[in-house]
Amino acid sequence: MAAYCCLVKGIFSNTQTVEKLLGWLPHSIEAINEAKSCLKEGGYQAEVYGRNVKQVLFEILKEASMNLEADEMAMMRLWYPLIENEVSMQGVDGK
């Protein structure tokens, strides 16, 4: 749960980060629905918005981490092996 909180804080505590991330991603309902469909079918192997989903996730983590304190950044590091090993956070910490 703490890793989720740090991710949300890292993204939304800085307007420039939000704007930068939104600038990377299409905003149309069609593009969002296509990304959801690709994720359901391909998981971590999916391409979303023309890019590998793992690459997109790592870029989001990098941007979010820049807005956090050292202890929060440590929590963010929990995401990296999950993405690298293609593991879902669902049920990982059970909290």
Contact 63, 16 (CB under 8 A): no
Q: Residue 1: its pLDDT value, please?
A: 83
Question: Looking at 36-40, 68-72, 86-90, which range is the least confident one?
Answer: 86-90
The band of 95, judged by pLDDT with boundaries at 50, 70 and 90, is very low
Question: pLDDT > 70: what percent of the chain?
Answer: 93
Quick one: which of 42, 68, 46 has its CA closest to 55? 46
Instruction: State whether residue 47 is helix, strand or coil.
Output: strand
Q: Residue 88: its pLDDT value, please?
A: 77
Single-letter amino acid code for the residue at 45: Q
